[in-house]
Amino acid sequence: MIFVLLMYVAASPPTLFARGAFNLGAPFFLLPVSAAENYKDVIERAQQLSLRHERSRAIQLLLKTVQKDAKKGTAPKEVSAALEDIAMDFYGEKSQQLYELAISNRLNNPPMALQWLTEAQKVEPDNAQIRLEISRTSLLLGDCSHAESEITALLKEIPVLEALQLGAAQVEVCQGRFEKAAQLRSAVDTKKSNFTVFWLSLEADRSIRSGQHQKASDLADQMTAVDARFPEAHYWKWKSLTEQKMAAELPAQDYISHCRKLTPRQIRDYLPEPMLCRRLSEVEASLKKQ
């Protein structure tokens, strides 16, 4: 068998090898994707690339698979999950420690949180988790332009992750571009989403800004049905009722109560909401006037 292969090699034109027809020495995760390769093989190859800190190549490999399968129907959830994991994985302890410091400070000290995130990005500039959190924290601080520049670049690189699509829609609302925000939301099946309450919260924000107060109230009810502990559901209920000159003491009290009872786990679960419990003073002041 070896003799036959050697005879074939000797008889083959040099261009056959120059074009990469034989790649016997290359690691399997560096080879081109074959038509017969299944998604589990692709995930394994991407993970191997990620272990070598070749995040960009791993992302491109998975992204091509997701986009190709999306044309046929729905891409396997495992591929999308692997793409998100690799894009947001931390390669070093220092960057992760800086990120964790930022998260622990975001609720009470957003400027400090942004400072820690900026330092983390210097250590690991291609980490999507850090970059996404920079965009969210910038929104929290009212810096729509900074948030937009970060999320736009990120979404251009990885356009299929819902967390990034949500972040982009939040930026559009911050910039007052409601139609673009609506377009981003319409592309997502929120009924199957892990971000349903955050999409609803964003839609309530857009409704309030557009003067659609009853719609915001209905959206708040939908949020409560999905997650009654989500503080912003009660904020938007209070806000919508207040704008309609209706009694709003109960949702105000619920908002304050849920914000004060937030656990570290809940804070992490609600990270996609940039304005989490940032309106306490507004609501508390309204109760004092009554």
DSSP the chain: -HHHHHHHHHHS-HHHHHTTS--TTS-GGGSPPPTT--HHHHHHHHHHHHHTT-HHHHHHHHHHHHHHHHHHS---HHHHHHHHHHHH--SSHHHHHHHHHHHHHHTT-HHHHHHHHHHHHHH-TT-HHHHHHHHHHHHHTT-HHHHHHHHHHHHHH-TT-HHHHHHHHHHHHHTT-HHHHHHHHHTS-GGG-S-HHHHHHHHHHHHHHTT-HHHHHHHHHHHHHH-TT-HHHHHHHHHHHHHTT---HHHHHHHHHHHHT--HHHHHHTTT-TTTTTTHHHHHHHHHH-
Chunked mean pLDDT (size 10), the chain, 290 residues: 39 37 41 59 94 95 86 76 96 97 95 98 98 98 97 96 97 96 91 93 96 98 97 98 96 98 95 97 91
- The pTM of this model reads 0.84
